[in-house]
């Protein structure tokens, strides 16, 4: 693939394009065709449906199996029964928090990749593992006196 920017070609042009995209994304125009827009929307909707079914399965399966119809009733027509209380007080908050934690970890990974400019960025690069180990040792030393 040959890249040409203002008369420059090759690696210099690629470097300029990367800098231009990094500095101000307004200069980069990305236009998708209608077919690719529809395909992207279809993929997004499919992923949202899969996420919904996963959430429903997460809430309905457990030590006490509860039918998916009961889960829907607990969400929209709460009657105070044992199953509805389990869903509303234990399973639904747990599933929602798990989804939020997963999203936060995904965003943290994307930020780390953006900061380091490395698509394979790992916590060792920024010293996160060493900091976590230090926190565990410090917490153990401090809390040992209270236990």
Looking at residue 91, the DSSP 8-state letter turns out to be: I
Per the prediction, the chain carries an average pLDDT of: 80
* pLDDT band of 24, cuts 50, 70, 90: very low
What are the b/e assignments for 35-57, b being 16+ CB within 10 Å? eeeeeeeeeeeeeeeeeeeebee
- Cβ–Cβ under 8 Å, residues 125 and 118: yes
pLDDT at 118: 81
Which of the pair, 20 or 125, is modelled with greater confidence? 125
Helices (H) and strands (E) in the chain, counts: 7, 2
Which of the pair, 35 or 89, is modelled with greater confidence? 89
Whether the per-residue pLDDT at 18 is higher than 60: the answer is no
| Neighbour-count burial of 75, counting CB atoms closer than 10 A to its CB (0-12 exposed, 13-18 middle, 19+ buried) | middle
* pLDDT band of 6, cuts 50, 70, 90: low
CA distance 46 to 41: 9
pLDDT (tens digit per residue) in 136-145: 999 999 988 7
Spatial neighbors of 13 by CB under 8 A, at least 6 apart, are 3, 4, 5
Q: Where are the domains of the chain?
A: 1-30, 33-116, 122-147
- Cβ–Cβ under 8 Å, residues 67 and 60: yes
């Amino acid at each position: 693939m040959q890249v040409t920017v203002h008369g420059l070609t090759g690696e210099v042009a690629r470097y300029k394009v990367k800098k231009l995209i990094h500095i101000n994304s307004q200069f980069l125009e990305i236009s998708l065709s209608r077919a690719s827009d529809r395909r992207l929307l279809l993929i997004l909707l499919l992923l949202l449906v899969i996420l919904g079914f996963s959430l429903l399965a997460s809430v309905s399966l457990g030590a006490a199996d509860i039918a998916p119809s009961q889960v829907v009733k607990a969400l929209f027509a709460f009657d105070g029964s044992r199953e509805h209380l389990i869903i509303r007080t234990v399973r639904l908050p747990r599933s929602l928090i798990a989804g939020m934690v997963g999203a936060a970890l995904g965003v943290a990974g994307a930020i780390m990749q953006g900061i380091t400019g490395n698509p394979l960025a790992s916590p060792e690069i920024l010293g996160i593992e060493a900091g976590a180990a230090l926190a565990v040792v410090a917490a153990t030393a401090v809390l040992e006196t209270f236990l």
